Structure 1
Amino acid sequence: MKKLVVLKYITKVFLLVFTIQSYAQLKEKIIFTKNRELHSIYSDGTGLKQLTDFKEPGHTPISLSASTTKEGKVAFIYDPVNHGYMSTYIMNTNGTDVKRISKEPQNGSSSTWSTVVSPDGEYYVFESTRSNNVEIYRMNADGSNVVNISKSRKDDAFPKWSPDSKYIIYSSKNSKNGWDIIRADINGNEKVVLIHSNSEVRNVAYSKDGKYIAYCLVKSNASDLMMANADGSNIKKLRTIAEYTNVSFSPDNKSITFVSKNQKIAVMNLNGSEFRELVSGKRPVWSFK
């Protein structure tokens, strides 16, 4: 009798733990752009939801470049007035409480492209051509104190934050066709070349635990999805994917999302197994929670 009671208790505990784990997994969303608006979806392909619905008279805006904080906020760029004049916004993961961060650009050069919010929510980094070439800039959470942190005569692009919000990683042009992957502190100091490439490198990203980086090595009409240790060692190819795509690690650091060659939001384990396409879209990012 006692054994039966203990067995029932163990069964209930197991089911409770399984339910909690399943719920936690379902909370982890992939946020991406579809039909010019931001959407979210669970990694199993369920729960597709439109988050933004911006309509402007005489203008068809687009919402792009989602990034998330550890507390569940979503930053993105949007052009409410003129096409390509991008400003930075932030909202809740369900699409509510949308707030503007940067001012309306006076021209395309002063736009905030590829904006990424720091995981702690304290800063943003973005790329802009306001200094003639493409540079990486940082601004405070309220949009103030814009600072050029890459300070290079060559183009610098695709910035991302380390999960502890202490470092920024980005692509930096080193020749006519080649790009380096650079890591710097939040002030643009302590620059280190992690990976040198003779080809174009785009959309580098840290894993959520900071142990790995992934990036796109651009080919003709496609990209090779590459992964390496955070120090740039042990480089390996994971898969051939779309030419233009973000890459983003899952919260448990076991999977990655990207756009497939079929232009679908896709997920896959880091060992290449369990590849699956979810829905048409672009620029996916996996939330922290």
Structure 2
Amino acid sequence: MTRSPARRVAALAAVVLTAAACDEALRPFLPPPVASLSIPITTFDSKIAFQSDRDGNLDIYLMNADGSAPVNLTNHAAADVRPAWSPDGTSLAFHTDRDGNFEVYTMGADGSAPVRLTNHAAFDGIVAWSPDGARIAFQTNRDGNFEVYVMNADGSGLVNLSNNPAFDGFPAWSPDGTRIAFQSSPGGNAEIYVMNADGSAPTNLTNNAAAESAPAWSPDGSRIAFHSGRDGNFDIYVMNADGTAPTRLTTSAASDLQPAWSPDGAQIAFSTRRDGDAEIYTMAADGSGPTNLTNHAANESFPAWGLTPGPPRPAHEIIDLLVAAVEDLVSAGTLGRGHGNALIVKLEAAARRLAEGNVQAAVNLLGAFSNQVQALVNGGLVAAMDGAALIEAAIAASSQLTS
């Protein structure tokens, strides 16, 4: 039987406390599945997935964010197109006609284990993951015209969100999971709309006579990038999330399409034909510094920028992150300064012992830190989700030292 994440955390906590030779056992700690405090105990690699026909037909490729090391992930005789990252960076969704018509699939970020999620005679594709990874939005014409649907990440529980006689497609989930931006054409031309994640309250954000499509939320949710033909040819624009202050980022005579934000919001990838064939470019979020990443005679398009999990962080880096996390809780007013200082004293002592080469002393201090966090949680002085994140990170650091 597979242990739940909560039981794994509890079991690891017991190991830490035993190593710390604590007299008082840690009470059972069952953290919720998602912590409100994010402590990146694993490193991440910045990657861009895209579609390309460089091997004779359309496949999904993966490259580093600087354009190096492109790899064909799908390598299939069918057309595999329009990749979308899972929030944890371990999977890609895409659509493919390998079963005769376009269906939604997922696969590992390395191209392994493709799984078919939809099974319908209509078109299913143009996918977007919810920020919690639990659901996938996509467009389909299974009801006679294109609508935005949502389903569970395993393909179950399909729901028509847009339910509109006009074309609705190209969904993009907001980073907080509450809204979905999409393209709709109720008046005959394509506009960028936003609706609640349950399909309610659709609102036209662009309201322009030109065609606008391919919305992409900035990582902080404050802005939406899109492409628009309002200046005579398709360019990349960005606007506030409420539709105000649209700003043109590209001014090429060629078509610039399909924007995708970098995970840190500092850059935007897009597809452009300014070099004759379609290439993947990146630029700063203000439109400066356009750079050709693919530079290939084939056609590349639909970039998707994500972070793939790398190796665990070293213990000393995790301890530094824990200190910063405790300071953040104090600054936010969710942890008292006195309790925060006491936690930081233990962490800084653990860092010193580790620098001196006294690994066991560092492990003991991390165990004492975990005990103290648990006591604060039990006393209602730290939120359970924040406590879960702190203890999990301390366990990760201890595991690095004892493995």
Work out the CA distance in 1 between the residues paired with 2:271 and 2:259: 8
Q: Describe how 1:1-289 pairs up with structure 2 within 5 A.
A: 27-35=45-53, 36-55=58-77, 61-72=78-89, 73-82=91-100, 85-103=101-119, 105-106=120-121, 110-176=122-188, 178-218=189-229, 222-240=233-251, 243=255, 245-261=257-273, 262=275, 263-279=278-294, 280=296, 281-289=300-308
Work out the CA distance in 2 between the residues paired with 1:244 and 1:272: 12
Counterpart code for 1:210: G
Give aligned-pair identity as a percent.
28
Please give the secondary structure, in 2, of the residue aligned with 1:252.
Answer: coil
**Partner deviation per Cα, 1:137-166 (whole Å, 9 max, x = no partner):** 111111112211111121112111112222
TM-aligned CA deviation for residue 244 of structure 1: 7.4
CA contact (8 A) 1:65 1:116 kept: no
Which of structures 1 and 2 has the larger relative contact order (alpha carbons within 8 angstroms, sep 6+)?
Answer: 2
- Higher share of residues assigned strand: 1
216-225 vs 250-259, greater mean Cα deviation: 216-225
CA contact (8 A) 2:95 2:104 kept: yes
TM-aligned CA deviation for residue 288 of structure 1: 4.1
Work out the CA distance in 2 between the residues paired with 1:198 and 1:122: 36
**Cα distance change on mapping 1:274 and 1:24 into 2, 3 Å:** farther
Q: TM-score, normalised by structure 1?
A: 0.82
TM-aligned CA deviation for residue 52 of structure 1: 0.9
TM-aligned CA deviation for residue 40 of structure 1: 0.9
Q: TM-score, normalised by structure 2?
A: 0.60
CA contact (8 A) 2:87 2:129 kept: no
**Partner deviation per Cα, 1:173-218 (whole Å, 9 max, x = no partner):** 1323x33321112210132222211111110110112111000113
Please give the secondary structure, in 2, of the residue aligned with 1:239.
Answer: coil
CA contact (8 A) 1:246 1:284 kept: yes
- Higher share of residues assigned helix: 2
Aligned to 2:311: none
Aligned to 1:9: none
Larger Rg: 2
Count how many residue pairs are aligned between Structure 1 and Structure 2.
255
Work out the CA distance in 1 between the residues paired with 2:147 and 2:96: 19
CA contact (8 A) 2:191 2:213 kept: no
Aligned to 1:12: none
Counterpart code for 2:204: V
Provide the alpha-carbon RMSD of the alignment. Answer: 2.2
Counterpart code for 1:259: S
TM-aligned CA deviation for residue 93 of structure 1: 1.4
CA contact (8 A) 2:256 2:270 kept: no
